[in-house]
Homo-oligomer: A and B are copies of this chain.
Amino acid sequence: MVQGMLGFEPCEVMDPVAEDEVELTRAHDLDIPNSLADLFKKSDRERLRHTYGAAYPESIKAFYGRFEGPPDAVVFPESHDDVRAVLDWATEEDVAVIPYGGGTSVVGGVNSDLGDRKVVSLDLARLDQVLEVDEMSRAARIEAGIFGPALEDALRPQGLTLRHFPQSFEFSTLGGWIATRSGGHYATVHTHIDEFVESLKVVTPRGDFESRRLPASGAGPDPNRWMIGSEGTLGIITEAWMRLQRRPRFKARASVRFDEYGDAVSATRAIAQSRLRPANCRLLDKREAMLNQVVFDGSHVLLLGFESSEYELAPLIEAALEIAADHRGRCLDGAVYTDEEATSDASGKWKDSFLEGPYMQSNLMTVGILADTFETACTWNRFHAFHAGIVEKMRDAMQRVTGSRGFISCRFTHVYPDGPAPYYTYVAPIKPGSELSQWAELKAAASEAVVDLGGTITHHHSVGRIHRGGYDRERPELFADMFRATKKTVDPAGILNPGVLIDP
């Protein structure tokens, strides 16, 4: 596939260094009181497994057996009060604390290479229960460490769903989604986790932060929104009341082909600006369509989907197809309707459209091919110049860094009335042994281009440590001061996730 589709010569398949061959740097001594001792694990195995997230440079280092900056220990609190006790201890002992959900961060959010500073990884895996379901308000109180599939399993008997399926769904946690403003796979209306948060319970070094369960409020700036997206720098989310939905019963989908990308973008924009609000509205450019093995005829493909429990979808999807046809889109097979059992839409399906993602990266890594992604959002008026600029700059950067102009494709993961969220995949042959420096140069080119051309450094991958450069240029300077003052208030010793989002 690599040779045929991308035209690159793969190298011989390489094997990663086995876990038991990895040598970790010695841990600092930690002075842990007896009352907390049972929560800590200090084995090299746990330290190794909490060293990295899923960012490309982390995967490369792991592949070669280099685990840099492992935590000195991993702590597994079993309750909100345990988290409280751990933060009190860490503040007292000046130990940095890295909150750890599923470890799927692609931006260095959980990597803890702090040199001489003592550091523990705080893994929320034992806070994994749905504590309470309020069927009348369709909401549930849920612990932060629960993984996507377990969460959906717990809600299924009541016919409810959080209906938030980020690409990392299987391997990531509710708390991680809230801390990083995760994006689900639905294209419109409620795209980020933000809107599903009814209230939060957070432990900060200065005390607990607990907001009131409310469907909405206009009382001052929204307290939840000050915590959502704080990436573990202000506090550790231990539980949240989340807004749920009934499982949709009716579904309709269709795919539309376009010869010209401009037409495809215009059609997608017109649908995004309608009140049709499709559940799926994913525009794949011709390369992305090929990479995903959707079509191979050079057409761009718009994947449309609608879901409902209450009404027939034909009028909506037919209206969307009419808009697409107005822009020379061809729907060869018409719309497909399904009336599914409530239980059949679970965690299986969300993967179908994402098969190319993280798995491809890992596989290509073994044959000397770099595959990475970056994602953003910009307003529609900028998009064409933005897209042309990104493609040109990345082609040039790949040429300069790897000697090949490489492969770059684009899909829209989410669409808004005022702009799309483009998601780019780029692939290039890379020199084994030089992956890190080559990747760093390409990543820098991508981040610079995204911010220069008027996008956001991240629509849903978050900032972490890897996106700091772009983030620092994007956010209002005064906001950084406001955020810093806030951090100083709740985390005066600066123990929480140092290096993420802001320097103290």
Contact = CB atoms under 8 A, between A and B. Distances in A.
A419 B137 contact: yes
Interface stretch (A26-34, A77-85, A304-312): A304-312
Contacts of A379: 134, 137, 139, 198, 213-215
A210 interface: yes
Contact of A276 (B191, B217, B310, B454): B310
Given A181-B218, A245-B417, A379-B139, A456 B212 contact: yes
For this chain, the copies found in one complex come to 2
Contacts of A228: 221-222
A414 interface: yes
B488 A485 contact: yes
A409 interface: no
A483 B296 CA distance: 54
Interface string A179-204: 01111000001011010001000001
Interface stretch (A98-106, A433-441, A472-480): A472-480
A489 B479 contact: no
A410 B245 CA distance: 27
Contacts of A134: 379, 381
20 contacts: A136-B380, A137-B379, A139-B379, A206-B481, A208-B478, A209-B479, A210-B476, A211-B476, A212-B474, A213-B454, A215-B379, A216-B419, A217-B459, A218-B459, A219-B229, A220-B475, A225-B225, A312-B315, A484-B489, A485-B489
A390 interface: no
Given A137-B419, A275-B308, A476-B210, A461 B220 contact: no
A363 interface: no
Contacts of A477: 207
A252 interface: no
A207 B461 CA distance: 30
A52 interface: no
Interface string A261-289: 00000000100011111000000000000
Given A459-B217, A463-B220, A478 B310 contact: no
A274 B310 contact: yes
A221 B483 contact: yes
B310 A216 contact: no
A380 B211 CA distance: 17
Given A214-B377, A275-B308, A219 B137 contact: no
With most chain B CB atoms within 10 A of its CB, the pick from A216, A277, A308 is A216
A230 interface: yes
A330 to B, nearest CB: 20
A458 interface: yes
A381 B137 contact: yes
B461 A218 contact: yes
Contacts of A75: none
Contact of A218 (B182, B210, B479): B182
Contact of A419 (B215, B274, B463): B215
A231 interface: yes
A477 B207 CA distance: 9
A421 interface: yes
B245 A215 contact: no
A243 interface: yes
A353 interface: no
A181 B249 CA distance: 35
A457 B212 CA distance: 11
A467 interface: yes
A279 to B, nearest CB: 9
B486 A217 contact: no
A489 B462 CA distance: 25
A176 B465 CA distance: 37
A501 B426 CA distance: 48
A246 interface: yes
Interface in A443-475: 454-463, 467, 471, 474-475
A7 interface: no
Contacts of A211: 475-476, 479
Given A312-B315, A418-B138, A219 B490 contact: no
